[in-house]
Structure 1
């Protein structure tokens, strides 16, 4: 049997049954990161029960889940005797999941996995849907953009979770404000004392890749799309390698038709109309984040729009080819967008905002305040876009 160890985020913070937090409840969201305080809730998931549940999940059936995943990632068959050490880290507190990073050492090699543990009501309601969505996307878009799901089960304490890929070297990023006199910039949460601020070129690559992934996963025929997604929740992660900026999407809470009834477009006009709605929603949501991931809602600067539109058309080219569309379809849709009047685009964007965002939310308010300028900028960019 491999050696098992538990840690809070890093090896500098080991935790065991003697730790003062072992019997304390987990925070319920990323906005509550100050640590446990106040009276104990007997019904809450504690740190101790969390680590024990993840450990049981991994060790079940003589470690078969971990062995299957590790064999896949190491590209060689492994047995229980090959496992040397399993280290479980509590990475962060989310409104859906409390992800555990699992370091597996076997045959002197080390790989990383993730157990997404649904500790909240929202997470438990969504966990099976997410696992299925990830499996579907990996089958339809096998480009390594999202994690592979290796196993899913319900712990004996009633905690559902699934085992997937952990993307080593990838980190969260968020808009930040270092100087109130300048526009927000993107900072990468790489664990360093002095976080990495992206250059404008790196930001552009990041926005382009995110828009490309989301659009390439949109199906114009069925209107299936990845939704919801949020920058503030850290759905995308980035790895910086010199001039290369690699992007992954670590969670897919849903993959379903744009129309809540499941109805698909019945003709070309309906298909173009729904693709336009996807495009406008993409440009709006790409601009939303929280300052440093946990503070007030932030609106990304106009400079993000050019790479977002570039990424959209790159993704549209790929998804159109996968759907059997003519090679000229992205150019055709570009002309379709150009023919829309600015007023029509603004009205459609306002309609989408009303339908998608709660009218009392910060997101809705900041979109309303910036919508006219946003559509002016998008319309101006489209006018000069290559045909």
Structure 2
């Protein structure tokens, strides 16, 4: 049988029952990006956390680990090939305490993520996320989000999925090099690493494309909620460009306060306008350096956001069998909406989607009129491929 070792951030910080933290309760992150007001803890200690992961991995004759390895390696594997499991507590999120499980074989080491729900909010969300990842894995098998391997709801809810090696969280920051806010990557380096303007543009483009491509115009199923401040997206540099992944899909369903199942073409187009408005506003919200005040991304990101929106819309419209002219039809429809009409559509969205989020709503109210003018201009100038 493989041995199991526990660590905090890295191998320099091993954990076992003799560690002073073993009996201490896990911290909870209570911030504005959490999904529910109910954050009652189940008093999970560090020891409970690591023990629950170990029990899950070894359950059913190590089936969770063997199944994940077989899918990852695309070949059969036996428990005799697995030498060791190393479990790292990566972070304390608003809903989960994500851990990284590194599985070592004679040939290589492969990492997986295990998301553990300790709070009531996390316990309520985890089954929704498992269902969302399973559905989107079938409908959009493009590697944009984790592949769900297995999970349990009792006694400790958790699920196992693939780990995105080389991808890191990012946030807006203030840099001495630029007047506007820049994007900093949390890659563990001692010197803060900033993305170039081109890389930042690619980041916003890809994130917007992923969310839009997963939006179903017929059912209004969509990924929601999502938030940059929660670190939902991660990035990896690829030369002058980047690659972006979405590491959590908390739910995939209609959002009644945002859209309704369309009864006709105009309702479908109105839903898309509402989705685009919410997408563009959400893409501009973040917390400075991930933990400080809410900030508003510079206007330069909007061209990329709208470009990503249309790229995602092209894919989802093709998957739904829409005509090739659909993107141009939507562009024309948007261009015929006045700023006043867009504001009428935006206000109920802001009231429902940002209710109780005073800091975010205050920032949005400061910028929304100018934002709508900028959005109209970006949509009007968007080039639609033939």
Give runs of aligned pairs for residues 298-377 of structure 1, distance below 5 A. Answer: 298-377=295-374
2:196 aligns with one of 177, 186, 199? 199
Extract unaligned runs of 5+ from structure 1.
32-40
CA-CA distance at 1:42 after TM superposition: 11
Cα distance in 2 for partners of 1:369, 1:148 equals 39
How far does the alpha carbon of each residue in 1:240-283 deviate from its partner, in whole angstroms, 9 at most, with x for none?
12123111101011111132699511110110010110000000
Give runs of aligned pairs for residues 91-106 of structure 1, distance below 5 A. Answer: 91-106=90-105
Cα distance in 2 for partners of 1:137, 1:70 equals 21
CA-CA distance at 1:381 after TM superposition: 2.0
Tell me the residue number matched to 2:186.
189
Cα distance in 2 for partners of 1:308, 1:181 equals 21
Cα distance in 2 for partners of 1:250, 1:95 equals 14
Q: CA RMSD in A?
A: 1.9
Residues 83, 171 of structure 1: alpha-carbon distance in 2 compared, 3 angstrom cutoff: same
Confirm or deny: 8 A CA contact 2:273 2:334 kept in the other structure.
yes
Tell me the residue number matched to 1:383.
380
Does the alignment pair 1:20 with 2:20? yes
Confirm or deny: 8 A CA contact 1:30 1:92 kept in the other structure.
no
Residues 42, 223 of structure 1: alpha-carbon distance in 2 compared, 3 angstrom cutoff: closer
Residues 262, 125 of structure 1: alpha-carbon distance in 2 compared, 3 angstrom cutoff: farther
Confirm or deny: 8 A CA contact 1:26 1:47 kept in the other structure.
yes
Tell me the residue number matched to 2:161.
164
Confirm or deny: 8 A CA contact 1:149 1:165 kept in the other structure.
yes
Residues 262, 357 of structure 1: alpha-carbon distance in 2 compared, 3 angstrom cutoff: closer
CA-CA distance at 1:212 after TM superposition: 0.3
Cα distance in 2 for partners of 1:322, 1:374 equals 30
Residues 297, 117 of structure 1: alpha-carbon distance in 2 compared, 3 angstrom cutoff: same
CA-CA distance at 1:361 after TM superposition: 2.0
Tell me the residue number matched to 1:35.
none
Aligned length: 377
Does the alignment pair 1:243 with 2:240? yes
SS of 2:109's equivalent in the other structure is strand
SS of 1:289's equivalent in the other structure is strand
Residues 131, 360 of structure 1: alpha-carbon distance in 2 compared, 3 angstrom cutoff: closer
Tell me the residue number matched to 1:132.
131
How far does the alpha carbon of each residue in 1:362-382 deviate from its partner, in whole angstroms, 9 at most, with x for none?
111110111111111112222
Confirm or deny: 8 A CA contact 2:132 2:249 kept in the other structure.
yes
Confirm or deny: 8 A CA contact 2:257 2:353 kept in the other structure.
no
Cα distance in 1 for partners of 2:249, 2:283 equals 16
SS of 1:164's equivalent in the other structure is strand
Tell me the residue number matched to 1:34.
none
Cα distance in 2 for partners of 1:86, 1:117 equals 17
Tell me the residue number matched to 2:29.
29
Cα distance in 1 for partners of 2:164, 2:53 equals 19
Residues 57, 261 of structure 1: alpha-carbon distance in 2 compared, 3 angstrom cutoff: same
Confirm or deny: 8 A CA contact 1:30 1:93 kept in the other structure.
no
Cα distance in 1 for partners of 2:122, 2:171 equals 23
Tell me the residue number matched to 2:34.
none
Does the alignment pair 1:281 with 2:289? no
Does the alignment pair 1:112 with 2:111? yes
Cα distance in 2 for partners of 1:27, 1:274 equals 40
Confirm or deny: 8 A CA contact 1:152 1:161 kept in the other structure.
yes
* Worse overlay, 262-271 or 214-223: 262-271
Cα distance in 2 for partners of 1:300, 1:253 equals 24
How far does the alpha carbon of each residue in 1:70-95 deviate from its partner, in whole angstroms, 9 at most, with x for none?
11111211111111110000000011
Cα distance in 1 for partners of 2:103, 2:9 equals 15
Cα distance in 2 for partners of 1:379, 1:154 equals 45
How far does the alpha carbon of each residue in 1:286-332 deviate from its partner, in whole angstroms, 9 at most, with x for none?
00010111111111000000000000000000000000001111111
